[in-house]
Structure 1
Amino acid sequence: MMPSLEPSCKEQLEQLKKEFDEFAYIVSHDLKAPVRAVTNLSTWIEEDLGDDLAPDIKHNMDLLRSRASRLERMIEGLLTFSRSTRLELEVGLTDVSALLQEVKQSISPHITLHVPESICNVLTYKAKLREVLTHVLQNAVAFNDKAQPEIVVTLSEQEHMLLFSISDNGIGIPEEALQKVFTLFYTVAPKDSVDTIGTGLAISKKIVHFAGGTIEAAQNPLGGTTISFTWPKNISALPIL
Structure 2
Amino acid sequence: MTTTPHPCLAEKEQLQKEFEEFSYIVSHDLKAPIRAISNLSAWIEEDLGEDLSPDVKQNIDLLRNRTARLERMIEALLQFSRATRTDMEIVPVSVSELIDELRDELPENVGLNLPEELPEFITYKLKLKQVLRNIMQNAVTFTDKNQPCIFVAWYQQDGMITFSIADDGQGIPEDAYEKIFSLFYTVSPKDALDTVGAGLAISKKIVQFVGGSIRAEANQHGGTTVHFSWPSSIQTLN
Q: What TM-score does the superposition give when structure 2 sets the normalisation length?
A: 0.95
| Equivalent residue, structure 2, for 1:107 | 106
Shift of residue 46 of structure 1?
A: 0.9
SS in 2 for 1:164: strand
Post-superposition offset of 1:6: 11
Single out whichever of 6-15 and 82-91 deviates more from structure 2.
Answer: 6-15
**8 Å contact 2:159–2:236 — kept in the other structure?**
no
Q: CA deviation at 1:238?
A: 6.4
Instruction: Give the percent of matched residue pairs that are identical in Structure 1 and Structure 2.
Output: 56
In structure 2, the residue matched to 1:73 is 72
CA distance in 1, matches of 2:224, 2:196: 19
Structure 1: unaligned runs, 5 residues or longer = none
- After the TM superposition, list the runs of 4 or more consecutive aligned residues in structure 1 that deviate by more than 6 angstroms: none
What is the deviation of 1:100?
A: 1.2
**CA deviation digits over 1:24-74, x for unaligned, max 9?**
000000000000000000110111111101100000000000000000000
Q: Is the 1:91–1:237 Cα contact (8 Å) retained in structure 2?
A: no
Count how many residue pairs are aligned between Structure 1 and Structure 2: 235
Q: For residue 61 of structure 2, what is the aligned residue in structure 1?
A: 62
Secondary structure at the residue paired with 2:205? helix
Whole-angstrom distance in 2 between the partners of 1:205 and 1:104: 22
Q: Per the alignment, in what secondary structure is the counterpart of residue 122 of structure 1?
A: strand
Unaligned 5+ residue runs, structure 2?
A: none
Q: Which residue of 2 aligns with 1:92?
A: 91
Q: Distance in 2 between matches of 1:30 and 1:153?
A: 41
Assess, with a 3 A threshold, how the Cα gap between structure 1 residues 137 and 22 changes in structure 2: closer, same or farther.
Answer: same
Alignment partner, residue 153 of structure 2: 154
Distance (Å, rounded) in 1 between the aligned partners of 2:184 and 2:73: 8
Q: CA deviation at 1:221?
A: 1.2
Deviations 1:191-232 (A, max 9, x none): 111110000000000000011100001011101000000011
1: CA distance between counterparts of 2:16 and 2:98? Answer: 31
> Partner residue of 1:189?
188
Q: Distance in 2 between matches of 1:121 and 1:45?
A: 56
The answer on 1:211 being equivalent to 2:210 is yes
Q: Distance in 2 between matches of 1:58 and 1:237?
A: 57
Task: Report the AA paired with residue 140 of structure 2.
Answer: V
Residues of 1 paired with 2:60 and 2:235: CA distance? 51
Matched, 1:138 2:137: yes
Cα offsets for 1:64-97 (capped at 9, x unmatched): 0000000000000000000011011111111111
Distance 1:12 1:166 in 2: 39
How far apart are the structure 2 equivalents of 1:31 and 1:7? 35
What is the deviation of 1:9? 1.4
Report SS of the residue matched to 1:21: helix
Question: How many angstroms apart in 2 are the aligned matches of 1:173 and 1:232?
Answer: 28
Q: Which amino acid aligns with 1:29?
A: H
Determine the C-alpha separation between the residues in 2 that align with 1:212 and 1:227.
17
- Match of 1:85, SS state, is coil
Matched residues in 1 for 2:119 and 2:62: separation?
Answer: 49
TM-score (normalizing by structure 1): 0.94
Which deviations, in whole Å up to 9, do the C-alpha atoms of 1:127-159 show, x marking residues without a partner?
000000000000111111111111111111112
Rounded to whole Å, the distance in 2 between the matches of 1:238 and 1:44 is 53
Aligned residue for 1:228, secondary structure, equals strand
Alignment match, 2:27: 28
Name the SS of the counterpart of 1:222 in structure 2.
coil
Contact conserved, 1:89 with 1:237, CA < 8 A, in 2? no
Deviation at 1:111, TM superposition (A): 1.5
Counterpart position of 1:230: 229
Find the aligned partners of 1:122 and 1:6 in 2 and give their Cα distance.
37
User: Following the alignment from structure 1 to structure 2, what is the Cα–Cα distance between the partners of residues 198 and 52?
Assistant: 37
Q: Is the 8 A contact 2:207 2:228 kept in 1?
A: yes
Q: Deviations over 1:170-202 (max 9, x none)?
A: 111101111000000000111111110000000
